[in-house]
Amino acid sequence: MSDAPWRATLDGVVVACRLTPKGGRDAIDGAATLADGARVLLVRVRAVPENGKANDALLRLIAAKAGVATSRARLVAGAKSRLKQVAVTGDPTALIAKLAGTPLPKGEGQG
């Protein structure tokens, strides 16, 4: 899954995102490849990039897509940049399945 915009870690996943604040709606518009070859999720939020509002909206959106509470998502890089890294804690297999939109095999990611 080297072309995915996320990578598994010991305690979850890290998702690479390109954020567009004041984007008219809160949505994940798919994935893209940047000029340097890095894969990112294209994310837009209605929130403005002031006082961390857009970052908070990003965390809520990524947590919802991953099927976890917002408290399990945190910004680990890019607080003042459009390119951000969001860490989500939990079972990496289950999180990746949710992010990719694929069902888990029966019994995996449970517990």
Q: Could you report the per-residue pLDDT of 56-95, keeping only the tens digit for each?
A: 999 999 999 998 999 999 999 988 999 999 999 999 998 9
pLDDT at 31 over 50: yes
Report the mean per-residue pLDDT for the chain: 86
> How many percent of the chain have pLDDT more than 70?
89
pLDDT range class, residue 102, cuts 50, 70, 90? low
pLDDT at 3 over 70: yes
Residues in the chain: 111
pLDDT range class, residue 100, cuts 50, 70, 90? confident
Q: Judge whether 60 and 70 are in contact, CB under 8 Å.
A: yes
Spatial CA neighbour of 31 closest among 65, 5, 64? 5
pLDDT range class, residue 107, cuts 50, 70, 90? very low
CATH superfamily of 6-100: YggU-like (3.30.1200.10)
pLDDT at 106 over 80: no
